[in-house]
């Protein structure tokens, strides 16, 4: 390069440097009129809801796929792909009558054959939760194109709650039959019966869904399209809502400390409704195999040491209720008439002294390991707070930070002393609560089982009887009993019933109408006016 060329290059690069600013133009492009732009975070790995039940997959997949039933905010089953249903006297036979004009997004009709294929074959192969439910069936049959009959081996009280979209999403038989379900090419272009059909997915950027013209709901859906934008940074997500670039955020999209500010903006509304089906309860989990966590008195002492109202008010910014026991107050069979553990260092130390767990020369009675769940700031702050709280009772806590893989591996392989955990309740204690406490569910290496290792024959009996009891009164009695017993025993130290904010543009109507809220199908959602 000679000097002239060099100077030319120099000029060019200077021009690039200067012109960097100035190319800008307002680009608040949004979904077309009548469409919705929502936030999705994290980006789901796939959209085939039967193969993946992570929360973001449920949010997007819940518009594409549907199951037989829907659930109102009180968790009462309502029609979806089934327009009516009945249960036999003995509680062993459930008959569903399907809607007759439902179609798959590729135009094929939805029939009873699809339901049988989905429940008896596809889901049993790939879906852990559905597998547990449908393994209870002796037979699943279709007497005609629009009737499906489930025959159970023994009564299972929450059977009607098993037909929520992410619990049992219907998949098309005509596409999947004979395929390798996990590796089928159809998983990239999900086909469901929902009000919105999949159009495009630009990874790392957005997912585009379009209204399905042949949807069976009369006049539904009202929205013309939905864009789910992937916005990995929490501050940027708040900005998107603030500027109107996005009109909807759900679950943990908005940091707890930002919720109040955003809710106060004139164009936004906030609700904590629409999470009843999940009703997550968080707790401090003990590894009951290790000393001193194996002693009930130690666990009770911990209950006395933790100020759960502080966690609710200062860490979760009010987006929680204090949990009184294993069953969430937003679900059926909750009983709040249980032992209370008031905040009291004296009571805690008395219990610990009684155990003979006395302070050593450094003032610590015991040192225990606490792998901190890597699900965001809130969990870190909760862990730090619990560390301080337990220190007041002479319990020294060693916080270990890790990532999802490390944490899940430590907890499922029982390599921890205490940790925080949170589980969905899936609408019924037999589906989402019993699994944490019954001894038959102590399974090493498997997450969300009885990882605490708690074992009590009486608890096992009560949960087992309540699951097969057909009368709600009997069930309530059994669950009240088990709640009293568990709260006395403290297999885990319940902290809060966590609430999530759904923040949306206040021109939107009938958006959050079911117990699965933002995971619902949005068939009824529309803009006012």
Peptide bond into 523 cis (omega under 30): no
Residue from 232, 318, 360, 376 touching another protein (CB under 8 A): that is: 232
CA angle 33, 198, 145 (to 5 degrees): 115
Residue 178 beta carbon to another protein: minimum distance, rounded to whole angstroms: 18
Residue from 409, 455, 470, 476 touching another protein (CB under 8 A): that is: 409
Only one residue has tokens 């999403």, namely 169
Residue 342 beta carbon to another protein: minimum distance, rounded to whole angstroms: 32
Name, in order, each residue with C-beta under 8 angstroms of 259's C-beta and a sequence gap of 6 or more.
270, 317, 319, 501, 503
Q: Interaction with another protein in 43-62: which residues (CB under 8 A)?
A: 43, 45-46, 48, 51-55
Starting at the earlier edge strand, list the strands of the sheet with 320-322: 320-322, 492-498, 281-286, 418-423
Q: How far is CA 113 from the centre of its chain?
A: 29
- Binding flag, residue 6, another protein (CB under 8 A): yes
Which range, of 255-263, 266-274, 362-370, 418-426, touches another protein by CB under 8 A?
418-426
- Number of neighbouring beta carbons within 10 Å of residue 104: 23
The DSSP code for 296 is H
Q: How many CA atoms lie within 13 A of 246 on its CB side?
A: 24
Which range, of 104-112, 144-152, 241-249, 291-299, touches another protein by CB under 8 A?
241-249
CA dist 65 and 87 (Å) reads 25
Nearer Cβ to another protein (129/304): 129
Helix (H) or strand (E) holding 457: helix 457-468
Q: What is the separation, in whole angstroms, between the first and last Cα of the chain? A: 66
CA dist 108 and 17 (Å) reads 56
Residue 57 beta carbon to another protein: minimum distance, rounded to whole angstroms: 9
Backbone angles phi, psi at 421, to 5 degrees: -150, 160
- The residue count for binding another protein (CB under 8 A) is 79
Residue 393 beta carbon to another protein: minimum distance, rounded to whole angstroms: 30
- Binding flag, residue 478, another protein (CB under 8 A): no
Nearer Cβ to another protein (3/457): 3
Q: Interaction with another protein in 316-375: which residues (CB under 8 A)?
A: none
Nearest to 73 by CA among 528, 516, 445, 529: 516
CA dist 366 and 348 (Å) reads 14
Nearer Cβ to another protein (338/410): 410
- Binding flag, residue 31, another protein (CB under 8 A): yes
Residue 49 beta carbon to another protein: minimum distance, rounded to whole angstroms: 11
Residue 459 beta carbon to another protein: minimum distance, rounded to whole angstroms: 20
Nearer Cβ to another protein (50/487): 50
- Binding flag, residue 506, another protein (CB under 8 A): no
- Binding flag, residue 222, another protein (CB under 8 A): no
CB 501 within 8 A of CB 248: no
Nearer Cβ to another protein (300/450): 450
Nearest to 333 by CA among 155, 477, 471: 477
- Binding flag, residue 257, another protein (CB under 8 A): no
Q: What share of the chain is helix, strand, coil (3-state, %, to 5)?
A: 35, 20, 45
Q: Is the dihedral of CA 354, 357, 362, 367 positive or negative?
A: negative
| SS3 at position 321 | strand
Only one residue has tokens 């796929």, namely 65
Binding mask 99-138 toward another protein (x if CB under 8 A, else -) reads -----------------------------xx-xx------
Q: Would you state the structure tokens that stand for residue 369, as one six-digit string?
A: 């390991």
Binding mask 176-205 toward another protein (x if CB under 8 A, else -) reads ------xx---xx-----------x-xxxx
CB 190 within 8 A of CB 48: yes
CA dist 440 and 459 (Å) reads 11
Residue 233 beta carbon to another protein: minimum distance, rounded to whole angstroms: 5
- Binding flag, residue 264, another protein (CB under 8 A): no
- Binding flag, residue 25, another protein (CB under 8 A): yes
- Binding flag, residue 239, another protein (CB under 8 A): yes
Q: Interaction with another protein in 422-451: which residues (CB under 8 A)?
A: 423-424, 426, 435, 443, 445-448
- Binding flag, residue 229, another protein (CB under 8 A): yes
Nearer Cβ to another protein (230/490): 230
Residue 13 beta carbon to another protein: minimum distance, rounded to whole angstroms: 4
SS3 for 473-518 is: HHHHHHHHHHHHHHHHHCCEEEEEEECCCEEEECCEECCCCCCCHH
- Binding flag, residue 219, another protein (CB under 8 A): no
CA dist 210 and 196 (Å) reads 5
- Binding flag, residue 376, another protein (CB under 8 A): no
- Binding flag, residue 231, another protein (CB under 8 A): yes
Residue from 71, 104, 407, 437 touching another protein (CB under 8 A): that is: 407
- Binding flag, residue 402, another protein (CB under 8 A): yes
Residue 462 beta carbon to another protein: minimum distance, rounded to whole angstroms: 22
Nearer Cβ to another protein (1/528): 1
Residue from 23, 178, 361, 529 touching another protein (CB under 8 A): that is: 23
Residue 246 beta carbon to another protein: minimum distance, rounded to whole angstroms: 10
- Binding flag, residue 24, another protein (CB under 8 A): yes
Nearer Cβ to another protein (310/375): 375
Nearer Cβ to another protein (37/382): 37
């Amino acid at each position: 390069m000679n000097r002239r060329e060099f100077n030319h290059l120099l000029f060019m690069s200077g021009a690039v440097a200067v012109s960097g600013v100035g190319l800008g133009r307002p680009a608040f492009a949004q979904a077309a009129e009548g469409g919705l732009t929502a936030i999705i975070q994290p980006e789901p790995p796939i959209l085939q809801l039967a193969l993946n039940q992570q929360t973001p997959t449920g949010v997007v997949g819940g518009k594409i796929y549907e199951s037989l039933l829907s659930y109102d905010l009180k968790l009462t089953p309502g029609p979806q792909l089934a327009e009516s249903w009945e249960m036999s006297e003995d509680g062993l036979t459930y008959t569903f009558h399907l809607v007759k004009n439902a179609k798959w997004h590729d135009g094929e009709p939805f029939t009873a054959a699809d339901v049988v294929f989905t429940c008896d074959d596809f889901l049993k192969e790939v879906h852990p939760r559905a597998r547990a439910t449908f393994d209870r069936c002796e037979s699943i049959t279709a007497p005609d194109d629009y009737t499906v009959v489930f025959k159970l081996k023994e009564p299972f009280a929450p059977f009607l709650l098993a037909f929520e979209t992410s619990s049992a999403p219907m998949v098309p038989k005509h596409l999947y039959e004979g395929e390798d379900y996990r590796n089928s090419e159809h998983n990239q272009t999900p086909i469901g019966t929902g009000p919105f059909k999949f159009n495009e997915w630009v990874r790392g950027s957005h997912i585009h869904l379009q209204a399905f013209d042949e949807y069976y709901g009369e006049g539904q859906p009202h929205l013309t399209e939905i864009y789910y934008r992937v916005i990995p940074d929490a501050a940027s997500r708040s900005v998107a809502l603030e500027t109107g670039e996005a009109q909807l955020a759900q679950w943990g999209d908005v940091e707890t400390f930002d919720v109040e500010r955003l809710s106060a903006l004139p164009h936004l509304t906030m609700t904590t409704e629409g999470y009843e089906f999940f009703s997550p309860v968080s707790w401090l989990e003990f590894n009951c195999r290790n000393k001193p966590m194996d002693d009930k008195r130690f666990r009770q002492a911990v209950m006395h040491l933790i100020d759960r109202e502080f966690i609710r008010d200062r860490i979760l910014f009010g987006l929680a209720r204090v949990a009184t026991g294993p069953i969430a107050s937003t679900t059926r069979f909750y009983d709040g008439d249980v032992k209370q553990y008031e905040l009291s260092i004296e009571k805690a130390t008395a219990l610990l002294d009684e155990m003979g767990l006395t302070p050593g020369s450094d003032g610590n009675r015991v040192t225990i390991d606490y792998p901190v769940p890597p699900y965001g700031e809130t969990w870190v702050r909760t862990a730090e707070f619990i560390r301080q709280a337990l220190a007041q009772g002479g319990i020294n806590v060693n916080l270990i930070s890790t990532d999802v893989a490390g944490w899940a591996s430590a907890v499922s392989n029982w390599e921890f002393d205490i940790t925080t955990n949170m589980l969905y309740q899936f609408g019924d204690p037999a589906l989402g609560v019993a699994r944490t406490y019954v001894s038959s569910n102590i399974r090493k290496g498997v997450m969300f089982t009885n990882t605490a290792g708690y074992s009590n024959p009486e608890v096992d009996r009560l949960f087992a009887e309540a699951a097969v009891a057909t009368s709600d009164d009997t069930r309530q009695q059994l669950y009240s009993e088990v709640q009293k017993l568990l709260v006395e025993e403290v297999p885990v130290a319940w902290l809060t019933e966590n609430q999530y904010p759904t923040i949306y543009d206040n021109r939107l109507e009938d958006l959050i109408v079911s117990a699965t809220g933002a995971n619902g199908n949005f068939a009824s959602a529309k803009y006012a006016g």
